[in-house]
Amino acid sequence: MNYADLQAEQIDWKRLVELNVERVKGEMQKEGVQALFVSTYDNWRYLTGLPVHFCLGMFLTNLSILTHDIDFPTLLPLGDMSAFLDTVAPWFKDIRLLPFEGTREARQPLGAGLWMEIIANTFKDLKVDSGKIAFDPGTPFCWKDELARKLPQAEIVDAGNLLRRARLIKNEEEQKAIRKACIIGEIGIQAGLAAVEAGKTEAEVAAVVEYHFRAHGGETPLATPFVIAGDYPSLGLLGPTHKVIRQGNLVRVDSGCSYGGYFSDFSRSVSVGKPDDEVKRAYEAVYEGLMAGVAAAKPGVTNTELHRVINGTIKKLSNNRYELGWFVGHGLGVGIHEDPMIGAAGTIEEFVMQPGMYFCMEPAVVVKGKGMIGLEDDYLITEDGVEVLTHTEFHL
């Protein structure tokens, strides 16, 4: 891992947005869509490159509209972003402000009020109020209802598939942000692994991880860092607890963070105290399974084939003691579970891996009485193979 890369490779944010808009317009054209309405945090970030507060209260408060006739999306943000945009993104020219006072949209639970007239009038100004408008799949139902009433000549359709396809391949500027997210992610995870010891709690280790994300320029963790200590009946999906780490526990540290809106996500597992032979064999099986997946990852291979290779290796090396369920990884980007998912045939949508696809693979098994062994790295498919983006040492 080269920490200097955090400063060395500068991202052209305008170019990033231009390339994303170009991909989105291509997908809009395929579906005969005249306008795209984006409302959720992740799709706003993808389409505009602009940050917003990563919190529940701001999840649906920055909107944008894209048509074929404009170079950059029309912005409808909550509050006045003009001074900020003049400094960091002066290429955005059409900005229509959304009020916070006297309306329901920015409340919890939200509703439809003053914003709907502003949005409807924007579609009319852009001359797409009688065309096919694709709505962000996260648009609240009450907004869709009210906008359908205000735009009776429009055909409102779901934008989920076109956005999913557009976000599937990462351009060169997105890849720069991704590499920075991976570097910062590794700084945090390595600090968390160094903090693991008997007597500490899961929450204490998670705090170390999250602190290092923030201190090194990460925008936000993908979730509260998972620190899973000892035996669990299921994944520790409630997040880190005040459970005390004990001698003999396996501890999995799993997290990632965003940079420029793009997320990393990887994990390592360690033993507190000397691991026994059962733990060593299980660790070797998971590690070799992951390495088999890396060796197989290249253009032309399917995401389901990667699962088959990893699972088959783990089963063989463990004499069928361990095997995976349907899942072994997922795509990443401005979202955390994007396509391509990496899983068993028949359980996920099958994709042929292509250059520019960004994803993680994370085989995991539970050693009864000891805990979980989960190993995970982030990858980018290249023209002739795969680039491993996280490089933290594997050891028990």
In this structure, which topology does domain 172-388 adopt according to CATH? Creatine Amidinohydrolase (3.90.230)
From edge to edge, which strands make up the β-sheet containing 155-158? 74-77, 62-67, 35-38, 132-135, 155-158
Task: Supply the pLDDT for residue 57.
Answer: 83
Q: Which CATH number is 5-167 given?
A: 3.40.350.10
Helix (H, G, I), strand (E, B) or coil at 85: helix
The number of CA neighbours under 13 Å toward the Cβ of 305 is 12
**Helices and strands, counts by H and E, the chain:** 11, 17
Determine which of 81-90, 93-102, 187-196 has the lowest per-residue pLDDT on average.
81-90
**Is the pLDDT assigned to residue 184 strictly greater than 60?**
yes
pLDDT tens, residue by residue, 70-86 = 999 999 999 888 888 98
Residues with Cβ < 8 Å from 325, sequence gap 6 or more? Answer: 344
Q: Is the peptide bond before 109 cis (omega within 30 degrees of 0)?
A: yes
Burial of 346 (0-12, 13-18, 19+ CB in 10 A): exposed
Query: What is the pTM assigned to this prediction?
Result: 0.96
Task: Supply the pLDDT for residue 233.
Answer: 54
Domain residue spans of the chain:
5-167, 172-388
Residue environment code for 4-30, b if the CB has 16+ CB neighbours within 10 A, otherwise e: eeeeeeebebbebbbbbbebbbebbee
- As a whole number, mean pLDDT of residues 323-331 equals 97
**Is the pLDDT assigned to residue 234 strictly greater than 60?**
no
- Averaged pLDDT score across all residues of the chain: 95
Helix (H, G, I), strand (E, B) or coil at 384: coil
Task: Supply the pLDDT for residue 231.
Answer: 84
Task: Supply the pLDDT for residue 134.
Answer: 98
Strands, E, within 56-131: which ranges?
62-67, 74-77
pLDDT tens, residue by residue, 111-134 = 999 999 999 999 999 999 999 999
**Is the pLDDT assigned to residue 1 strictly greater than 70?**
no
Backbone angles phi and psi of 150, in degrees to 5: -80, -15
Identify any residues that bridge with 75 across adjacent strands, giving them in sequence order.
64, 95
Determine which of 2-11, 37-46, 287-296 has the lowest per-residue pLDDT on average.
2-11
3-state helix, strand, coil in the chain (%, to 5): 35, 20, 45
- As a whole number, mean pLDDT of residues 359-369 equals 96
Determine which of 104-118, 139-153, 234-248, 329-343 has the lowest per-residue pLDDT on average.
234-248
